[in-house]
């Protein structure tokens, strides 16, 4: 069964009304057959794009405290040691996953544990792969602590098209790996900050699937 994320219900309903209303108007008020069909096709394609953007495929996560899973679908665009200045204020291993508009945009918890920190930051809308997007764009920062990795930070980052980040993490909340952690609308990226020396299971350019693919593992 095809599922849609709850954050898209209103947008899907409005788009469907506009689409089917436009199709009827085109049928009755555009005399040229091919022009009418072209307008109707464009409206249907737009509706399909909205539906695919808000799709929420069910993922069967194999819960494992020794593993960090990809929080989102997308492409690994950054793997490097960086200074994390907001929470840890020391060096961390950053893994960044870029989501194109055609990727599933559900954010899932990369590990089980307790939410230690959750904060929203207003900001710019630089393209998501910009080096300063992690610190200058609209974003949310969440830290989850578990017994194996300690504290792991992930950051939802808005892109040039993303104008709304939804974050469900609440400080003190116990969360389960692979469950729904939020949503980012219309193009974005997620950065994950791991302890230095964490063994990775991905490399630059890899395409990952949120809720399933392991990006780091302690054996």
Catalytic residues, which ones?
A: 188
CA distance 98 to 188: 6
SS3 10: helix
CA distance 76 to 74: 7
Torsion angle, alpha carbons of 56, 61, 67, 68, to 10: 10
């Amino acid at each position: 069964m095809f599922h849609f994320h709850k954050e898209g219900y209103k947008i899907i309903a409005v788009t469907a009304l506009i689409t089917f209303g436009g199709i009827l108007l085109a049928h009755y008020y555009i005399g040229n057959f091919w022009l009418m069909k072209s307008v109707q096709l464009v409206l249907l394609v737009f509706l399909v794009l909205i539906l695919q953007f808000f799709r929420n495929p069910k993922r069967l996560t194999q819960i494992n405290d020794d593993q960090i899973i990809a929080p989102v679908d997308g492409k690994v665009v950054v793997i490097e040691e960086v200074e994390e200045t907001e929470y840890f204020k020391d060096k961390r291993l950053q893994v960044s996953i870029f989501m194109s508009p055609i990727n599933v945009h559900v954010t899932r918890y990369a590990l089980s544990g307790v939410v230690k920190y959750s904060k929203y930051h207003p900001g710019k809308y630089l393209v998501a792969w910009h080096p300063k997007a992690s610190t200058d764009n609209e974003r949310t920062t969440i830290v989850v602590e578990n017994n194996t990795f300690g504290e792991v930070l992930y950051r939802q980052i808005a892109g040039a098209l993303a104008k709304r980040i939804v974050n469900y993490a609440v400080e003190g909340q116990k969360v389960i790996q692979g469950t729904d952690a939020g949503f980012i609308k219309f193009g974005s990226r997620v950065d994950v900050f791991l302890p230095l020396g964490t063994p990775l299971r991905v490399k630059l350019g890899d395409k990952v699937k949120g809720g399933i693919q392991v990006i780091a593992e302690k054996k």
